[in-house]
Structures are given as structure tokens and as C-alpha cells.
Chains A and B, each alone.
Chain A
Amino acid sequence: KNEVEQSPQNLTAQEGEFITINCSYSVGISALHWLQQHPGGGIVSLFMLSSGKKKHGRLIATINIQEKHSSLHITASHPRDSAVYICGLTADPRQLTFGSGTQLTVLP
């Protein structure tokens, strides 16, 4: 089905680098989600957005509805940002679909 595609699948960066993770989707959506899954397995919702841009600390999420594309940016990356980042979408009626995730490793 692959309604949500993330790239890259794996990303290694040096501490301090600017990081971008991309998410493309193929259906009309009500909302797009970014989740963070810690190395221990716990999942935290980072952003839910349907237009424009949202910012929380060093994390920024953007979405382009026309191009069906979203990006998650991390500024001044830190080893504690190492995690799996998951993109997902909500579509009518009550469909929730998630990508397979991007494994981010930030080296000190």
C-alpha cells in the first residue's frame, strides 16, 4: 500500500548538524503526524499539523499540502536526538497510517 514514504531510512549526523527527514504521502489527509520513538521503545507525539509550519524547541515540522510532502528539521542536533522518527497521517474516514520510520543517529 505504501501511502506514507519516509526518507532516508537511516541517517547518521555529527553533533551540531542541521537534519532533515522527509515524508511523502499519496492520499488526501486531515492531519500529518511526527512521532519520536526512543531507543527504549517508547513513542512520543512531536507534531500534528494540517498546514504550514510548527516549531517546538529545536524541532520544526513543515507541510506542503499541494505537494503532499512534509519535512521534520532538527537544528543543532545532539546525541540525545538519536531515535526513530515516524511520519503518519490521518485521512477520512478514520484512517491512521504510518511510515516505517527514519533511524537517526547523532554522533558526539
Chain B
Amino acid sequence: NAGVTQTPKFRVLKTGQSMTLLCAQDMNHEYMYWYRQDPGMGLRLIHYSVGEGTTAKGEVPDGYNVSRLKKQNFLLGLESAAPSQTSVYFCASSYSFQGLFSNQPQHFGDGTRLSIL
């Protein structure tokens, strides 16, 4: 049972380059989330998805785009990477939006460490 899988695990980019982070879950969860984690800042929600084909902005969406073409996959894109986007990115999934209408917790991936030079 893989749970939530993130690829890649590490990446180094130059400023201005683009890339896509992939998150895949095998638990048939409706909701998926992308977070970034920075020292002293805690986890911050970038974007989330309430189901296939739908996405919504979180707390820090600027500079990122997302897509959910298939229920099991949630992609996070950086169109023009900036040093401020150096961070550890976590994907998570859950049956419903956390704490609303459900007692099911989020399941997290192992994270992607991204450095922008």
C-alpha cells in the first residue's frame, strides 16, 4: 500500500526554469493538497483540490499552478522558479476537507526538497 507518493524527492533548479512536482495517491481520496514548509514558518497550504478537475487556492498560491486531471494525481507546477520558492514541498490527501464533515485524517507524502539557485 503506497499511500501518497511524491516525485521527485530532490531537485535543484536555476532561477527562471520550470518544473512540475507529481503527487499520486492510491486511497481513492477526493481531496488533495500541496504545502510548502519553510524554517520557522510551518506548513503553508499552496493549493488544494476537492476532486478531479477542480482546484482552489490556499494561503500562498502565487507563483504556482496546479492540475488534477485524474483523481489519483495532483500536479504542482512552477512556471518560472524563483529563489523564494526554495522549500520542502509536501503533498497530502484525505476523504474530505480536514475536519469538515469527516473524522478522517490527511495522509502525507515524504516531501520534495527543492532548491532554486
Query: Interface centre among A43, A98, A100, by most B CB within 10 Å?
Result: A43
- Residue from the list B33, B40, B108 in contact with A96, Cβ < 8 A: B33
- Residue from the list A32, A50, A99 in contact with B42, Cβ < 8 A: A99
Decide: A45 and B41 in contact? CB cutoff 8 A: no
Query: Interface centre among B43, B56, B88, B106, by most A CB within 10 Å?
Result: B43
Decide: A98 and B43 in contact? CB cutoff 8 A: yes
Chain B residue numbers with a CB within 8 Å of A31 are 98-100
Residue of B nearest to A90 (CB): B99
Name A23-72 residues within 8 Å CB distance of B: 29-33, 35, 41-45, 48, 50
Name B81-115 residues within 8 Å CB distance of A: 88, 90, 92, 97-100, 103, 105-108, 110-111
Q: B59 at interface (Cβ–Cβ under 8 A)?
A: yes
CA distance A30 to B40 in the complex (A): 25
Size range of the chain B interface in the assembly? 20 to 34
A45-B100 CB under 8 A given contacts A86-B43, A100-B40, A101-B42: no
Q: B44 at interface (Cβ–Cβ under 8 A)?
A: yes
Decide: B105 and A30 in contact? CB cutoff 8 A: no
**Interface size counted on chain A using CB atoms at 8 A:** 27
Contact with A along B16-34 (1 / 0, CB 8 A): 0000000000000000010
CA distance A95 to B88 in the complex (A): 20
Chain A residue numbers with a CB within 8 Å of B107 are 45
Chain B residue numbers with a CB within 8 Å of A98 are 42-44
**Distance of A71 from chain B, by nearest CB (Å):** 18
Decide: A96 and B45 in contact? CB cutoff 8 A: yes
- Residue from the list A32, A42, A48 in contact with B108, Cβ < 8 A: A42
**Distance of B38 from chain A, by nearest CB (Å):** 9
Chain A residue numbers with a CB within 8 Å of B51 are none
CA distance A50 to B100 in the complex (A): 10
**Distance of B54 from chain A, by nearest CB (Å):** 12
Tell me the A residues contacting B by CB distance below 8 Å: 4, 29-33, 35, 41-45, 48, 50, 86, 88-90, 92, 94-101
